[in-house]
A and B are shown apart, each in its own frame.
Chain A
Amino acid sequence: MKKTSLLLALLSSSLVSNAQTAAEASQSRIQGTQREQPAPVTGKNITAQEAEGTSPAESDTGAQRPISLKKSGISSFFGYDTKIFYRDNPLSVDNALSEMKTGMWTNTFFGGAGLGVFDMDDAVVTPYIGGSYTINDYLETAVQELELNYNSTNAYALLLAQFSNGLSGRIGVSYAMDKNTESDTEEYSEFFPNIGIMKTFSLPSGTLAVLDAYVGKHTSTSNQNPEDILDNLEIAASYGLIHRQGAFIIKPKYSLSFKSYDKGDKGNNDGREDLTHNLSVKIDYPFADSLTLSLFSGYTIRDTSGYDLGGDYENFDGGLGLTLNSRF
């Protein structure tokens, strides 16, 4: 244990004295950051929606519970999410620096609105806007000394079409920006116009399966790279299960992302291809309507080709989260 601490201290002091290496670490962190697609329908995840309702007493007609509905179909949501977790490879690298481990604490404030419900006979179309602000803090001293703490801003606008066969399609654009909190500088920003589809299936065990896929173009700006070197085309798909077990909701998920870069020099992003696998499990415990406690873990492997500066990495995340969400 002492040996590891000593190694980390040496690494960090070496890194702090080398601004270029710290900048590379920052870039590795940026390129290793997985930016989640928003779940715009209510601001809640699918599981939370599924968990609603009472156990009905059966009858021929069915239980008739009166409800009140909004006349306009305009809805809004906001919430707060906090996570504390262990990160195995915070710099997303495949060298000695991958020995650095850290705890992370993230705090996210999010909000959004559905701007109406448009019934098109065989489909229902809903426009959404939303955004979030996340404070990302590294807890391990050795990593803290690299001054990598950053705040993320995200915003999106999209059109969601839900079809009667259970398929939903979406088209939209999202914006993401990372600002280093130590230097108060904008490290990275991107626009991501994308199009996606999602299909849910009910499995015999009462489990819900969710298949999702999207394609989009990341148009980026980075303060340590020529303006558009991190631009890439991304094609991604995921398959997840949602299973309720007593008071718990278990959600294993596998996702696969392929990114193709065509800017920069040969070997330095032009011709680079990233293939990222992520396997995750999340266990939710919704102990109130708007409050969910989560236990989560995820394992990521990125396999990069056509890139001289490495790019491969493996990472494990695991920790606890608490989400407060309210709809209006």
Chain B
Amino acid sequence: MSSFSNRILIFAVASAAAFFLNGEKPKVSFVSGKVEYVELVDGKANSIGIIENNCSIQSNHLIATAKGSRTQIQYDSKTWRLGSLSAARWLDNDSFWIHSGSALFCSEEITTVHFSSIESNATFYGKGTIIVEATSNGGFKFIPLEAEGTISTAKGGVKNITEGQMLLILGQPSEFGDAYDIDLMLLVKSSRLLNYFPSPLSTFDQIGLAIYVQQLKLKGKYDALIGDATTNENLQLWKFGKNTNAESSTSQSPESKKGFFKSFFGKE
């Protein structure tokens, strides 16, 4: 009887240890297309391997996705998704580094995540669903689809997060660039990080509520799409409508300022 109890105890301890050890490493839960890892030793590439379902990712692995390829990674209670043509690292449980491309973070529990890119870094505290996209200036876009909490940078201090408001994180020491309210409905409809995965995000209902709130507060839409931040001073705005040209200006007129009759009868 005593021997049986000991065995049960050993099994329980081993299971718990295995669970926790397993929980410390990000695990791949979905792969589409070609996703590879580069093992880094002293900052240099040592070996290259293929990422497959259920494999664990080490902190010295740089994950890279080919064109049209994506992957989903489960890290404790957090869900991460990496878009195509992206390169990123999960440095530890609460640190994520993005070299290029875009990624999605989702957590229903309050947590701290240090987001960093080639040039910039910011710390998020809270919970929610966030997309980060690396920009050409070395910084990144921080797009909370639905979230509660704060974001802080060394130079910019602490800011409360507003759902649907894109923030640019720039420079080193990092600061906040301009903030833009963006059309969540359009973003959600057109985002492959949201729609090209087999299972919906656990926060899908909350995203729906954020869209609902934004629709209630909507005043007007600009006839433009935000592109890359090529430098800390310039953000590409792709104007659509009659002409489709890339512009570095941020001074577009909102639809609500078209004039009385045009706003009444004009199509979007």
List residues of A whose CB falls within 8 A of some B CB: 41-42, 49, 52-54, 56-70, 73, 75, 114, 117, 119, 122-124, 126, 162-166, 288-291, 324, 326
B149 at the interface (CB under 8 A from A): no
Contact string, B163-189, partner A, CB cutoff 8 A, digits 1/0? 000100000000000001111011111
Chain B residues, Cβ within 8 Å of A289: 263-268
CA distance A68 to B254 in the complex (A): 7
Q: Which of A53, A62, A123, A165 contacts B191 (CB 8 A)?
A: A62
Looking at B188, B190, B254, which has the most chain A CB atoms within 10 Å of its CB?
A: B190
CA distance A199 to B14 in the complex (A): 47
Q: Is B217 touching A73 in the complex (CB atoms < 8 A)? A: yes
Q: How far is the CB of A327 from chain B (nearest CB, A)?
A: 8
CA distance A67 to B185 in the complex (A): 11
Q: Is A61 touching B181 in the complex (CB atoms < 8 A)? A: no
Q: How far is the CB of A136 from chain B (nearest CB, A)?
A: 27
Q: Which of B133, B141, B143, B183 contacts A65 (CB 8 A)?
A: B183
Q: Is A53 touching B189 in the complex (CB atoms < 8 A)? A: yes
CA distance A117 to B220 in the complex (A): 17
Chain A residues, Cβ within 8 Å of B263: 289
Q: How far is the CB of B139 from chain A (nearest CB, A)?
A: 14
Q: How far is the CB of B157 from chain A (nearest CB, A)?
A: 22
CA distance A61 to B166 in the complex (A): 12
Q: Which of B102, B143, B192, B265 contacts A288 (CB 8 A)?
A: B265
**7 more CB-based (< 8 A) A-B contacts, given A60-B102, A64-B141:** A60-B70, A64-B182, A66-B224, A67-B183, A114-B216, A124-B212, A164-B208
Q: Is A291 touching B193 in the complex (CB atoms < 8 A)? A: no
Q: Which of A62, A124, A165 contacts B188 (CB 8 A)?
A: A62
Q: Is A62 touching B256 in the complex (CB atoms < 8 A)? A: no
Chain B residues, Cβ within 8 Å of A52: 185, 268
Q: Which of B188, B191, B195, B226 contacts A66 (CB 8 A)?
A: B226
Q: Is B216 touching A57 in the complex (CB atoms < 8 A)? A: no
Q: Is A61 touching B133 in the complex (CB atoms < 8 A)? A: yes
CA distance A10 to B193 in the complex (A): 72
CA distance A311 to B64 in the complex (A): 73
CA distance A290 to B181 in the complex (A): 23
CB nearest neighbor in A for B146: A164
CB nearest neighbor in A for B212: A162
Chain A residues, Cβ within 8 Å of B185: 52-53
Number of A-B contacts (CB under 8 A): 154
Chain B residues, Cβ within 8 Å of A164: 205-206, 208-209
Q: How far is the CB of B54 from chain A (nearest CB, A)?
A: 23
B213 at the interface (CB under 8 A from A): yes
CA distance A46 to B237 in the complex (A): 31
Q: Is B181 touching A68 in the complex (CB atoms < 8 A)? A: yes
Q: Is B133 touching A56 in the complex (CB atoms < 8 A)? A: no
Q: How far is the CB of B117 from chain A (nearest CB, A)?
A: 14
B28 at the interface (CB under 8 A from A): no
Chain A residues, Cβ within 8 Å of B187: 61-65
Q: Is A59 touching B206 in the complex (CB atoms < 8 A)? A: no
CA distance A56 to B183 in the complex (A): 11
B18 at the interface (CB under 8 A from A): no
Q: Is B190 touching A117 in the complex (CB atoms < 8 A)? A: no
Q: Is B256 touching A65 in the complex (CB atoms < 8 A)? A: no
CA distance A105 to B151 in the complex (A): 57
Q: Is A60 touching B264 in the complex (CB atoms < 8 A)? A: no
Chain A residues, Cβ within 8 Å of B240: 54
Q: Is A117 touching B213 in the complex (CB atoms < 8 A)? A: yes
Chain A residues, Cβ within 8 Å of B254: 67-68
Q: Is A60 touching B101 in the complex (CB atoms < 8 A)? A: yes
Looking at B216, B252, B266, which has the most chain A CB atoms within 10 Å of its CB?
A: B216
Chain A residues, Cβ within 8 Å of B186: 53-54, 56, 62-63, 65
CA distance A227 to B212 in the complex (A): 43
Q: Is B220 touching A68 in the complex (CB atoms < 8 A)? A: yes
What 9 A-B pairs have minimum CB-CB distances, sorted nearest first? A62-B191, A60-B83, A56-B190, A62-B187, A164-B205, A64-B226, A65-B183, A63-B190, A62-B190
CA distance A290 to B262 in the complex (A): 11
CB nearest neighbor in A for B256: A68
CA distance A149 to B230 in the complex (A): 67
Contact string, B110-154, partner A, CB cutoff 8 A, digits 1/0? 000000000000000000000101000000010100000000000
